[in-house]
C-alpha cells in the first residue's frame, strides 16, 4: 500500500504543490478500492497506478459529497470543507477528478470506459440520494438504483478493471465488486440503526433524521400497522429523543426489518463468493466474510 | 450549431433526465470552443461529438466557478447556483464533467490526453485565481500562468484536437487557440476598466473590488508614484465611489496601462494569425480580428 500512497502523492504533486498540501489534510480512508485491485490483479506498476487513479477519483467524490451533505467530519476527523471551506473542497475535488481521468487515458479502452462510466453514475447517484432524501421513499427499486450508483458502481468498475488488467474473467469480478458495494451499503444502513454512538464513532440513527429512508426503514414501513406508521412518519427528519430512538430500534427488531436487510446483504455476498469461487482467492473471500458475518 | 446543441442534450439525457432539465436552465454561452472545432476540423459526426464534449466540460467548469465565485448571474441570467443552490450546481457540474470524460475515451489518445490535461489545468487555474485574489499580486508571471490555465488552456487543447482530428498541423492551431484564449482574457480584463456598466451589462471595475489584480492594474502599479500607489492600495477590495472609479480610469489612461495591455493582446493575436496563415482560414482570422481590433 505504501507504493500506492506514494503514487497518489506523486500524481497530485505533478498537478499542483498547493493541492498536495491540502490533500494531506484529508482523511485517507480504508483504501478498499486500491486493495481490491492488488488482490485481483496482483502487484505491478500498472496495478499500483490504476489503484492510485481510482483512489483519486474516490477521494474527489467524497470531497464533493461532504460539501453537498454539509458533513463536517469524515472518519472522525474534520472534513476539508470544515477545515478550509466549501470552495476549497470543490476545487480540490475537481483537481483530483481531472488528474484521475487524465491518467486513465493511458489504460486500455475497456478500463478507461468502465471507470469513467462509473464516475458519471457516481454523480447521478449522489444527486438521486439528495433527491430521495427530500421526502419518505418507499420505493425499493429507487433505493437499490441509488446505492448501486452511489456506492457499488465504482467498486464494480474497479474489480472489472483489475480483472481485465490481469487477464482474468472480468464479468465474474465485476459481479463480486458490485455485490460487495451493495452489501457494504446495506450493512452501513443497518449499523446506523443497531449500533450505539460510541460503537459507530458518530451519531447513530442519523439517516432517518437526514431524510434517508434506507432499506431497513422501507421494510419497516411495509410491516407496520396504521398507528405505528403514523408514529414513524412523525419522527421523519426530526431530532429524536432517547425514547423515540429506542422505539425505532425496538420496532426494527420486532418487525424483522433489520434481519431481512442483513439477510439480503448476506445473500448478495454469498452470490459474489460463488461467482469468483474458481479463483480460490482467500483474501477476497475474507473481505466479504468479514463484512457480512460480523456482529450486528 | 444545431447539430451540436442536439448532441449535447443527447449526451446529458443518456445520463439522467433530471440533469437535462436542470441543464436547460443554464446559460448556453457563445459556444466559442464548438465553433473553433468546426472551423478547424470541418463538419463531421466526429467533430460534432468532440464539440459537444468540450462544451459539456466548459459548462461544468462554469457551474463550479460560479459557486466558487459566488456569482449569481451568468451572461445576464440567473446562474444555476442562484436558481437551485450551490449543491445542485456542484452535482450538475460533476455529471457534465464525467460524461464529457466518458465520451472522450472513444477518441485518439492524443485528443483524450490534450483535453483531459487541459481540464486538470482548468481546476488549478481556478484555484490560482482564488488564491491570487486574496491580496494584491504584482507578479506578471503568476498572472499569465493563471489566465493561461484558467482561460487559454482549454481553447488551446480544443484547437489542437480539432487540427489532429482533421490531419492538420496541430502545433500551429494549438498556438492559435492558446493566444486566442490569452488575448481574450486580457481584453476582458481591460473592458472591466474601460467600459461602463451599461456597455458591459454588469458592474464595471468589479475585478479590483473582487481582489483581482489584472494585467492593467499590474502595469499601473509599475508606473505610479508613491502617493498614487498608496491611493490605489487603499481602493483595493473596496466598494468604489464614483470619484474613486473615475480616478482609476483616468490613471489607467494617463499611465498607458490600458494601452499597453491592449497592445500585448494584439501582439498575441497577430502572432496567432501568422502561425495559421498557411491555412487561409478567413473564419478564424475574423474571430481573432473581431476581438483585438474592436473599440476599447
DSSP one-letter string for B127-142:
HHHHHHTSS----HHH
SS3 per-residue string spanning A50-74: HHHHHHHHHHHHHHHHHHHCCCCEE
Residues A36-57 have pLDDT tens digits of: 999 999 999 999 999 999 999 9
Closest residue in chain B to residue A117, using alpha carbons only? B102
pLDDT higher than 90, residue A27 = no
Helix axes B86-104, A45-68, angle to 10 degrees: 160
CB crowding A191-215: b at 16 or more within 10 Å, else e: bbbbbeeeeeeeebbebbbebbbbb
Residues with Cβ within 8 Å of residue B160, at least 6 apart in sequence: B114, B170, B171, B173, B174, B177
B191 closest CA partner among B207, B177, B175, B180: B207
What residues pair up with A73 in beta bridges, in sequence order? A78
Give me chain B's average pLDDT, please: 95
Q: Who wins on pLDDT, A194 or A77?
A: A194
Please report which helix (H) or strand (E) contains residue B74, including its range.
Answer: strand B73-74
Alpha carbons A103 and A131: distance in angstroms, whole number: 32
Q: In which band, very low, low, confident or very high, does the pLDDT at A247 lie, cut at 50, 70 and 90?
A: very high
Cβ of A295: how many Cβ atoms within 10 Å? 7
Residues B236-255 have pLDDT tens digits of: 999 999 999 999 999 999 99
pLDDT higher than 90, residue A15 = yes
Closest residue in chain A to residue B16, using alpha carbons only? A124
Q: What global pTM score does this model have?
A: 0.92
Which of A14, A17, A118, A120 is the best substitution to test chain B (most B C-beta atoms within 10 A)?
A120
Residues with Cβ within 8 Å of residue A60, at least 6 apart in sequence: A92, A93, A94, A95, A96, A97, A100
A95 closest CA partner among A37, A184, A27, A17: A17
Residues B254-283 have pLDDT tens digits of: 999 999 999 999 999 999 999 999 999 999
pLDDT higher than 90, residue B1 = no
Long-range contacts of A194-198 (CB under 8 A, 24+ apart): A194/A249, A194/A252, A194/A258, A194/A296
Residue A296, pLDDT score: 81
pLDDT higher than 90, residue A238 = yes
Q: In which band, very low, low, confident or very high, does the pLDDT at B294 lie, cut at 50, 70 and 90?
A: confident
Those of residues 48-87 in B touching chain A at CB distance below 8 A are 61, 64, 67-68, 86-87
Phi, psi for residue B74 in degrees, rounded to 5: -140, 115
Q: Is the CB of B153 inside 8 Å of chain A's CB atoms?
A: no
> A243-252, B25-34, B44-53, B241-250: lowest mean pLDDT where?
B25-34
A162 closest CA partner among A82, A81, A44: A44
- A:B CB pairs within 8 Å: 114
Q: Do B119 and A102 touch (CB under 8 A)?
A: yes
pLDDT higher than 90, residue A170 = yes
pLDDT higher than 90, residue B83 = yes
Q: Is the CB of A291 inside 8 Å of chain B's CB atoms?
A: no
Alpha carbons B87 and B72: distance in angstroms, whole number: 14
Pick the CATH number of B108-296 from 1.10.10.10, 1.10.1760.20, 1.10.600.10, 3.90.226.10: 1.10.600.10
Q: Do B112 and A119 touch (CB under 8 A)?
A: no
Q: In which band, very low, low, confident or very high, does the pLDDT at A178 lie, cut at 50, 70 and 90?
A: very high
List of chain A residues whose C-beta atoms are within 8 Å of the C-beta of residue B61: 94
The answer to whether the B1-106 and B108-296 domains have the same CATH topology is: yes
Give me chain A's average pLDDT, please: 95
Please report which helix (H) or strand (E) contains residue A18, including its range.
Answer: helix A17-23
Q: Is the CB of A8 inside 8 Å of chain B's CB atoms?
A: no
Residue B170, pLDDT score: 97
Q: In which band, very low, low, confident or very high, does the pLDDT at B129 lie, cut at 50, 70 and 90?
A: very high
Cβ of B228: how many Cβ atoms within 10 Å? 16
Q: Is the CB of A117 inside 8 Å of chain B's CB atoms?
A: yes
Percent of chain A with pLDDT strictly greater than 90: 92
pLDDT higher than 90, residue A65 = yes
Contact of B80 with B24, CB cutoff 8 Å: no
pLDDT higher than 90, residue A80 = yes
For A90, the closest of B16, B67, B109 (CB atoms) is: B67
Residues B3-42 have pLDDT tens digits of: 999 999 999 999 999 999 999 999 888 899 999 999 999 9
Q: What is the mean pLDDT of residues B76-89?
A: 92
Q: What is the mean pLDDT of residues B94-108?
A: 95
Closest residue in chain A to residue B124, using alpha carbons only? A95
Q: Do A15 and B99 touch (CB under 8 A)?
A: no
Q: In which band, very low, low, confident or very high, does the pLDDT at A31 lie, cut at 50, 70 and 90?
A: very high
Contact of A257 with A220, CB cutoff 8 Å: yes
Residues with Cβ within 8 Å of residue A27, at least 6 apart in sequence: A62, A74, A75, A76, A77, A79
Please report which helix (H) or strand (E) contains residue A78, including its range.
Answer: strand A77-78
Residue A241, pLDDT score: 96
Residue A37, pLDDT score: 97
Domain ranges of chain A: 1-106, 108-296
CB crowding A77-115: b at 16 or more within 10 Å, else e: eebbbbeeebbbbbbbbbbbbbbbbbbbbebeeebbbbb
For B98, the closest of A95, A109, A120 (CB atoms) is: A120
List of chain A residues whose C-beta atoms are within 8 Å of the C-beta of residue B132: none
Q: What is the mean pLDDT of residues B181-195?
A: 97
List of chain A residues whose C-beta atoms are within 8 Å of the C-beta of residue B92: 127
C-alpha cell at A85: 471551506
Residue A190, pLDDT score: 97
Q: What is the CATH number of domain A1-106?
A: 1.10.600.10
List of chain B residues whose C-beta atoms are within 8 Å of the C-beta of residue A80: none
Contact of A161 with A113, CB cutoff 8 Å: no
- Bridging pattern class, strands A77-78 and A73-74: antiparallel
Place of cell 473590488: B209
For A16, the closest of B61, B124, B130 (CB atoms) is: B124
pLDDT higher than 90, residue A201 = no
Q: What is the mean pLDDT of residues B116-141?
A: 96
Residues A140-157 have pLDDT tens digits of: 999 999 999 999 999 999
Residue A42, pLDDT score: 96
Q: Do A127 and B68 touch (CB under 8 A)?
A: no
Residue A83, pLDDT score: 95
Taking the CA of residue B264 and the nearest CA in chain A, the distance in Å comes to: 28
Contact of A89 with A81, CB cutoff 8 Å: yes
Residue A77, pLDDT score: 87
Q: Do B19 and A124 touch (CB under 8 A)?
A: yes
For B90, the closest of A90, A99, A101 (CB atoms) is: A90
Residue A34, pLDDT score: 97
Q: Is the CB of A122 inside 8 Å of chain B's CB atoms?
A: yes
Amino acid at each position: 500500500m505504501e507504493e500506492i500512497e506514494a503514487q497518489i502523492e506523486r500524481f497530485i504533486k505533478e498537478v499542483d504543490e498547493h493541492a498536495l498540501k491540502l490533500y494531506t489534510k484529508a482523511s485517507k480512508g480504508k483504501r478498499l478500492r486500491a486493495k481490491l485491485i492488488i488482490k485481483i490483479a496482483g502487484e505491478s506498476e500498472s496495478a499500483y497506478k490504476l489503484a492510485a487513479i481510482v483512489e483519486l477519483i474516490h477521494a474527489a467524490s467524497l470531497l464533493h459529497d461532504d460539501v453537498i451533505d454539509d458533513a463536517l467530519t469524515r472518519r472522525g476527523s474534520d472534513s476539508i470543507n470544515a477545515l478550509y471551506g466549501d470552495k476549497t473542497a470543490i476545487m480540490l475535488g475537481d483537481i483530483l477528478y481531472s488528474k484521475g481521468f487524465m491518467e486513465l487515458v493511458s489504460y486500455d479502452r475497456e478500463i478507461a470506459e468502465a471507470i469513467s462510466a462509473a464516475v458519471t453514475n457516481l454523480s447521478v447517484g449522489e444527486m438521486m440520494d439528495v433527491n430521495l432524501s427530500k421526502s419518505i421513499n418507499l420505493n425499493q427499486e429507487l433505493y437499490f438504483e441509488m446505492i448501486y450508483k452511489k456506492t457499488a458502481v465504482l467498486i464494480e468498475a474497479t474489480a472489472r478493471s483489475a480483472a481485465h488488467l490481469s487477464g482474468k474473467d472480468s464479468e465474474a469480478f465485476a459481479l463480486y465488486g458490485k455485490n460487495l458495494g451493495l452489501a457494504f451499503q446495506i450493512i452501513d444502513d443497518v449499523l446506523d440503526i443497531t449500533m450505539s454512538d460510541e460503537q459507530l464513532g458518530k451519531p447513530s440513527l442519523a439517516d432517518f433524521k437526514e431524510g434517508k429512508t434506507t432499506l431497513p426503514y422501507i421494510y419497516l414501513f411495509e410491516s407496520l400497522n396504521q398507528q405505528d406508521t403514523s408514529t414513524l412518519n412523525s419522527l421523519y427528519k426530526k431530532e429524536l429523543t432517547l425514547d423515540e430512538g429506542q422505539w425505532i430500534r425496538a420496532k426494527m427488531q420486532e418487525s424483522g426489518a433489520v434481519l431481512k436487510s442483513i439477510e439480503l446483504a448476506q445473500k448478495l455476498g454469498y452470490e459474489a463468493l460463488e461467482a469468483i469461487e474458481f479463483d480460490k482467492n482467500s483474501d477476497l473471500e475474507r473481505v466479504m466474510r468479514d463484512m457480512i458475518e460480523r456482529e450486528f
